Amino acid sequence: MGLFKRLEAKALVGGKYYGTHPDIPGYYDNLRLTMSDAGVDVTVKKQVLAHFDWDSIIRFDADRQTETEGAGQRLSVTRMATLGVASLAAPKATGRTTTNFKNSLITTSGVIELETELEGGAGSSMRSMADNLIKKYSQKARAYVAQRARGKEVVK
């Protein structure tokens, strides 16, 4: 199987890695899992640390938890000026929201766990867009792996 075949990524996820797989020791701030027809490449800054063929992959799990502190609502002057009386029906959200994503690739030789944390204002459109983007990539990776994984038991 040629190098060009491996470069045709169909799904990609990334995050902080804390050495959860025995074949990939250490901490990495931005480890990536690149899924293609050839399998899954584990990379850091375009350097391939490991490759897993589909025969050695069991499944992909994606978990997301959101916590909000100081949740509330308020009217903003900008909303009142642009929406008028309708601004009463659409108040601005306040508080801090933290979302933790945990993506796990389960292989026959261990588990690769990637974590991503997003923090921002409860009404922040940038945080919301980043949240939706990470969720979309995680769902795409889960579906891609589900079509190709073998579903074998984990060997520890």
90-102 pLDDT per residue, tens: 655 567 888 899 9
pLDDT of residue 97: 82
- E strands within 9-109? 11-17, 28-36, 39-44, 47-52, 57-74, 92-107
Amino acid in position 143: A
Region of 106 please: left (phi>0), alpha (psi -120 to 50) or beta: beta
| Predicted TM-score (pTM) of this structure | 0.74
User: By three-state DSSP, how is residue 142 classified?
Assistant: helix
Domain extents for the chain?
A: 3-148
| pLDDT tens-digit readout, 41-85 | 999 998 999 999 999 999 999 998 888 775 555 556 666 677 676
Distances in Å between the Cα of 45 and the Cα atoms of 14, 32, 42, 58, 146 are 11, 9, 10, 26, 26
Q: Is the pLDDT assigned to residue 110 strictly greater than 70?
A: yes
Q: Please state, in angstroms and rounded to a whole number, the distance separating the CA atoms of residues 83 and 79.
A: 6
Q: Is the pLDDT assigned to residue 34 strictly greater than 50?
A: yes
User: By three-state DSSP, how is residue 136 classified?
Assistant: helix
